[in-house]
């Protein structure tokens, strides 16, 4: 057992895009579990775009990380020492452990992971928060039907890859928007989307070709130019699942500040009877987790659901990996492996 707990703190609040100096690696004392608590050694940390919002001191749906506090994330790990009968050494668990190497948590705050069902890191991706996000957003808002056109932005990312595949399973035609030839080839050839659109090239001609009959459901992960290109293509009764707008997460004063770029004129919302709706997976998702997991495991067993992880090794790499995530440089669900 090491003597210290390496962890990464929020050193200062970013001005626009985070830079390495906004983070600080420190060697904290190893935490010690009390009765009813468990010491967890983290194996995979989940880096996700929402964590950018936690770095700002702005009103949001969750409290910001405090200055000097440990960066937030979910992680999976193994029990290193247990003072609760529910867990024994070596058990795999999921929790909100943060960007660090060890955590002490009450046993009741941990979720057990069965590594025989799926690789433990999937509890951070296809079977975890991002997968649940895709599942909830499609069930509650997107509701793609057979023959409808679903367009997914950030299609090779943690949420997008699941949203698109669930759309295919529902019988929709699915177009993925991603950055660069490799990601486009992945969503089309590996995930089975009907077409891919590269947002680094001109969007309109590609969307004209991929969606000649318009768009019924748009899964919004990005905002910006992609949103502007897709929005006019909605068919009547289209649904826009507002999951995120990562393109503007690095604006210095938050997504809804006065300086945020304008959005689409909402006139077509009336004429076309559109529904634009936002959601946060934490509102209702975890209470529906069992149904989600059962359904997803069924799809995996049937060979209908694939996933791709972007695994970066070493806690010290987390800030650079996170900065890259916000710039779209990850390829698949980004996790930090702590070996």
The residue range among 17-25, 66-74, 120-128, 256-264 that interacts with its own copies, by the rule CB under 8 A, is: 256-264
Residue 232 interacts with its own copies (CB under 8 A): yes or no: yes
Annotate each residue in 81-120 with x if it binds its own copies (CB under 8 A) or - if it does not, as one string: ----------------------------------------
Q: Choose which of 262, 294, 303, 339 interacts with its own copies (CB under 8 A).
A: 262
Q: How far apart are CA 176 and CA 211, in angstroms?
A: 11
Residues 47-86 that bind its own copies (CB under 8 A): 53, 60-61
Q: Choose which of 119, 214, 268, 332 interacts with its own copies (CB under 8 A).
A: 268
Residue 245 interacts with its own copies (CB under 8 A): yes or no: yes
Q: How far is the CB of 61 from its own copies (least distance, A)?
A: 6
In the bound state with its own copies, the residue whose beta carbon lies nearer, of 20 and 232, is 232
**DSSP state string for 98-138:** -SBSEEEEEGGG-EEE-TTTS-GGGGGTTTSHHHHHHHHHI
Bridge partners, 112 (sequence order): 93
Residue 269 interacts with its own copies (CB under 8 A): yes or no: yes
Q: Choose which of 63, 265, 290, 302 interacts with its own copies (CB under 8 A).
A: 265
Q: How far apart are CA 40 and CA 36, in angstroms?
A: 13
Residue 264 interacts with its own copies (CB under 8 A): yes or no: yes
Residue 288 interacts with its own copies (CB under 8 A): yes or no: no
Q: Choose which of 13, 83, 86, 272 interacts with its own copies (CB under 8 A).
A: 272
Q: How far is the CB of 59 from its own copies (least distance, A)?
A: 8
Task: Please name the helix (run of DSSP H) or strand (run of DSSP E) that holds residue 313, with its range, or none.
Answer: strand 309-313
CB-based contacts of 290: which residues, under 8 Å, 6+ apart? none
Q: Report the SS3 class of residue 3.
A: coil
Residue 202 interacts with its own copies (CB under 8 A): yes or no: no
Half-sphere exposure (CA, 13 Å, Cβ side) for 69? 15
Q: How far is the CB of 117 from its own copies (least distance, A)?
A: 31
Q: Choose which of 277, 298, 313, 314 interacts with its own copies (CB under 8 A).
A: 277
DSSP 8-state symbol, 33: -
| Selection from 130, 180, 189 nearest residue 157 by Cα | 130
The residue range among 33-41, 153-161, 219-227, 317-325 that interacts with its own copies, by the rule CB under 8 A, is: 219-227
**DSSP state string for 167-219:** HHHTT-EEEEEESSHHHHHIIIIIS--SEEEETTS-HHHHHHHH-TT-EEEEE
How many residues bind its own copies, per CB under 8 A?
38
Q: Report the SS3 class of residue 268.
A: helix
User: Is the separation of the CB atoms in 241 and 137 below 8 Å?
Assistant: yes
Q: Is the dihedral of CA 172, 279, 224, 318 positive or negative?
A: negative
Q: How far is the CB of 287 from its own copies (least distance, A)?
A: 16
Residue pointed to by tokens 């090239």: 201
Q: How far is the CB of 110 from its own copies (least distance, A)?
A: 28
Query: Binding residues for its own copies, per CB under 8 A?
Result: 53, 60-61, 220, 223, 227, 232, 236, 242-245, 248, 254-256, 260-280, 283
């Amino acid at each position: 057992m090491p003597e210290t707990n390496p962890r990464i703190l929020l050193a200062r609040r970013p001005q626009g895009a985070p830079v390495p100096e906004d983070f600080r690696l420190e060697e904290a004392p190893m935490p010690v579990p009390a009765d009813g608590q468990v010491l967890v050694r983290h194996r995979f940390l989940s880096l996700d775009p929402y964590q950018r919002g936690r770095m700002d001191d702005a009103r949001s749906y969750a409290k910001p990380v405090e200055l000097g506090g440990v960066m937030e994330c979910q992680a999976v790990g193994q029990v290193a020492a247990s003072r609760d009968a529910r867990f024994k050494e070596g058990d795999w668990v999921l929790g909100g452990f943060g960007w660090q190497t060890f955590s002490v948590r009450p046993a009741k705050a941990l979720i057990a992971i069965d590594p025989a069902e799926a690789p433990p890191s999937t509890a951070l991706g296809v079977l975890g928060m991002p997968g649940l996000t895709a599942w909830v957003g499609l069930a509650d808002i997107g509701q793609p039907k057979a023959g409808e056109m679903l367009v997914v932005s950030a299609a090779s990312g943690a949420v997008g890859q699941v949203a698109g595949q669930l759309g295919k399973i529902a019988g929709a035609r699915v177009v993925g928007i991603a950055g660069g030839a490799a990601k486009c080839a992945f969503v089309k050839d590996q995930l089975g989307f009907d077409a891919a659109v590269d947002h680094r090239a001109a969007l309109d001609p590609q969307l004209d070709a991929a969606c000649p009959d318009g768009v019924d459901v748009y899964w919004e992960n990005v905002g910006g130019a992609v949103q502007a290109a897709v929005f006019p293509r909605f068919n009547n009764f289209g649904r826009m699942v507002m999951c995120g707008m990562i393109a503007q997460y690095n604006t210095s004063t938050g997504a809804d500040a006065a300086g945020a770029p304008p959005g689409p004129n909402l006139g077509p919302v009336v004429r076309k009877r559109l529904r634009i709706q936002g959601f946060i997976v934490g509102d209702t998702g975890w209470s529906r987790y069992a149904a989600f997991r059962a359904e997803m495991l069924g799809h995996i067993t049937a060979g209908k659901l694939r996933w791709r992880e972007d695994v970066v090794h070493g806690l010290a790499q987390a800030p650079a990996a996170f900065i890259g995530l916000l710039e779209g440089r990850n390829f698949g669900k980004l996790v930090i492996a702590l070996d």
